[in-house]
Amino acid sequence: MIKEVKTADAPQAIGPYSQGIVANGFVFCSGQIPLDPETGEIIGDTIQSQTEQSLKNLFEVLKAAGSSPGRVVKTTVLLQNMEDFGEMNKVYERMFGGFKPARAAFAVKTLPKNVLVEIEAVATV
């Protein structure tokens, strides 16, 4: 059975996709960028503030799916600039509270709304 995840506590999808999909005991979370869920405005102008907001949004999607950060098995981090990796990593580690899911990180040319970071995840429910 496949179920769409919807929550007002994370930014609404801005295209033909879902915030997340629950299937076969997993939740597949779409990439989250640092948008304020209420206003749709970008939060922060540093990699630290944008990483924190992106993870807050991701954690809300996980919560709506019946999961949590401690159940994440894999994340993918997209960065506009790989030079931001170290500072992103500090916030990521703090926000995950020492839990270490598998992860891939890539530098990409641009991200939606020209943000500095986007983070997606797969977790158990």
Q: Are 14 and 115 in contact (CB under 8 A)?
A: no
The enclosing H or E element of 90 equals helix 85-96
Q: Could you tell me the CATH number of the domain that includes residue 86?
A: 3.30.1330.40
pTM: 0.97
Number of separate domains in the chain: 1
Percent of the chain with pLDDT over 90: 96
User: What is the tens place of the pLDDT at every residue in 18-53?
Assistant: 999 999 999 999 999 999 999 999 999 999 999 999
Range of the domain at 15: 2-124
The label of the residue with tokens 């030079």 reads 83
SS3 102: strand
pLDDT category at 70 given cuts 50, 70, 90 is very high
pLDDT at 14: 80
36 CB-side CA count, 13 A: 7
**In contact, 101 and 51? CB cutoff 8 Å:** no
